[in-house]
Structure 1
């Protein structure tokens, strides 16, 4: 059972429904526990699972006996939590039902020690804690009251099939126009939630530096992400970013495309993908872009350097617009380099970051098999 009592919507909340079809393909029957009316619950239904739902986290705790009966009736032996706040319930279930295997994925990256008596009790019930990068594992080793062998690095994965290039030329041209990209321009995209931590500000400043340093280059910037709070973005920051784009004279060269539900398709319309986030715990957008055979310019911080190297893209300091201008200028000016980096990136995803590989490792842990 995947336990995710969150009313938000981001990578953490999307994860259970994203892996459930692959779990089924590999022979596991998945169940879910979510908040009633949440997008997590909706996504589980869309993935083919009718979740057990609760009105609140508090209700889930005082109805723990009902949840235990649900687990027993369906012979569920594994519970996988995705929010640290859900570990209270997960640990209680594991305490009341000896033999239950309890897992937790740290999707966010812990920022402070968790070694007080409560956390020692809750984390002590875990069979395994999954870190989604070496960067987060290093933090987890320092923060959590667990021995190293119970904290495993398990990279995320994606199904690479939807990212294969295949748009007909006229359809790609129409999509680029829809994204505001002129026919003769190199499309520099930045997908993701528009919030201060995602690095859009340094990206815009870098584009301004690129105009000054390489005025002969034809390019167009595309921000793909919601423009309002209900789409996961910071509306005040969006307004601030629009103002900065105008102040830098970039209004004709940077397009706010808004939320798109067809990111794999949109990536085919881009030529370069940027991920300037300062502190990514993993970087799902990075491997999505690589799967689409697009070169990546990423921040030289967090977990991104674990995914991007000189063979698949370029790294730039997350607070250095000049470095971003230099990296982007090199790629914009060299289509052959774009192609080589993109092909190498796709090959790396197929080797190391597929959903099939991720779930195979996950179910090995569920089954109690030793890590390969």
Structure 2
């Protein structure tokens, strides 16, 4: 494919939701020879990650605001940057930056692409329909999001499903989980865990209740909750109320040693999708060779192959408890599930595959906008 000048824009400040996959994609596209720029909200966590990745952040604010003069200033800055750098593709990842990019590109050549990272990104109504219909390429990170986009009646071929990705080499080894087990006081018994922000809707409460039910069959069971968030006090109260104070460990945020944390688990559990529906946490667990028990909801059901790389269950405490007991009772079967999960990640969910799929979206969008000639092999 011809080398393109691409600007990624995400009105995000935290290392959550679309931030990680957007930056990973930008790196992959740069590695494939494209000139890539990145714009994010300044002065917070994401800016530091962007700089560390070698992308000087674009001089825009991207702050969500109802003040029209600030929005107009961002549109002017983006428009000037697009012209000065000869940007050919503007790739938006949030609704706010989608609008800014559309306004900045108005009346000039350029390809506008949007990734919908969550179903909430797709709103009904005439305004949302107007914006998406003027977007040359739309990427959905799951088939469920693509189905929601179908309600906007976009032109045929406008929407492409491009699943998430993870660098499996981060989890090669396998790493040794003994250090983390010792640090967290987990002992040698069965350990299950979840990596997700501690917020409502992620299923932490279901997992804790399932652990309480499973204690009779798994008396030494420990549960590790990795992450932080405003839901922690309520979860801590639930743990105390169920008498699980000595069984549930709140491990906080883990970054550099995530591979070791996953290696310390006998089974990974995720019972709800979050702000980024490509289920990165599950992909990382699969890359680490962990068997997965996941809710049969959203993209989780598209990622985990039931009975082959893990198990899909109803997010109900009794159902989850039964499945955990079965998985932990057969370590050989659990190991086979984990190995199959890693093979699936290496075959289907690689950064290279995702970057190639996104390049194809850019190429089709360019042809659609008349910027690339049909059949041009350079795109």
| TM-score between the two structures when normalised by the length of structure 1 | 0.89
Residues 223 and 63 (structure 1), Cα distance of their counterparts in 2 relative to 1, 3 Å cut: closer
SS of 2:47's equivalent in the other structure is helix
Question: Does the Cα contact within 8 Å between 1:35 and 1:53 map onto a contact in 2?
Answer: no
What residue in structure 1 maps to residue 337 of structure 2?
Answer: 341
Question: Does the Cα contact within 8 Å between 1:221 and 1:255 map onto a contact in 2?
Answer: yes
What residue in structure 2 maps to residue 238 of structure 1?
Answer: 232
> Is 2:365 the counterpart of 1:356?
no
Q: How does 1:85-234 map to 2 (within 5 A)?
A: 85-97=96-108, 99-110=109-120, 113-116=123-126, 118-142=127-151, 144-168=152-176, 172-182=177-187, 184-212=188-216, 214-215=217-218, 218-226=220-228, 233-234=229-230
> Is 2:45 the counterpart of 1:39?
yes
Give the superposed CA RMSD: 2.0
How many residues get paired? 352
Residues 15 and 60 (structure 1), Cα distance of their counterparts in 2 relative to 1, 3 Å cut: farther
Question: Does the Cα contact within 8 Å between 1:94 and 1:100 map onto a contact in 2?
Answer: yes
What residue in structure 2 maps to residue 289 of structure 1?
Answer: 285
> Is 2:295 the counterpart of 1:299?
yes
Residues 245 and 283 (structure 1), Cα distance of their counterparts in 2 relative to 1, 3 Å cut: same
Structure 1 unaligned runs (5+)?
A: 227-232
Shift of 1:268: 1.4
Structure 2 unaligned runs (5+)?
A: 1-6, 368-379
SS of 2:201's equivalent in the other structure is helix
SS of 2:238's equivalent in the other structure is helix
Shift of 1:177: 1.4
SS of 1:11's equivalent in the other structure is coil
Q: How does 1:323-334 map to 2 (within 5 A)?
A: 323-334=319-330
Shift of 1:63: 4.4
> Is 2:73 the counterpart of 1:62?
yes
> Is 2:22 the counterpart of 1:10?
no
| TM-score between the two structures when normalised by the length of structure 2 | 0.87
Moved over 6 A (4+): none
> Is 2:76 the counterpart of 1:81?
no
Q: How far apart are the structure 1 equivalents of 2:106 and 2:49?
A: 29
Shift of 1:8: 3.8
Q: How far apart are the structure 1 equivalents of 2:191 and 2:48?
A: 34
After superposing the two structures, state which structure 1 stretch, 274-283 or 21-30, moved more.
Answer: 274-283
**Structure with more helix by fraction:** 1
Question: Does the Cα contact within 8 Å between 1:105 and 1:130 map onto a contact in 2?
Answer: yes
User: Which of the numbers 262, 270, 284 marks the counterpart of 1:267?
Assistant: 262
Q: How far apart are the structure 2 equivalents of 1:345 and 1:63?
A: 43
Q: How far apart are the structure 1 equivalents of 2:259 and 2:179?
A: 16
Q: How far apart are the structure 2 equivalents of 1:64 and 1:96?
A: 13
Shift of 1:202: 0.5
Q: How far apart are the structure 2 equivalents of 1:288 and 1:167?
A: 13
Shift of 1:188: 0.4
SS of 1:202's equivalent in the other structure is helix
Shift of 1:187: 1.5
Q: How far apart are the structure 2 equivalents of 1:317 and 1:146?
A: 33
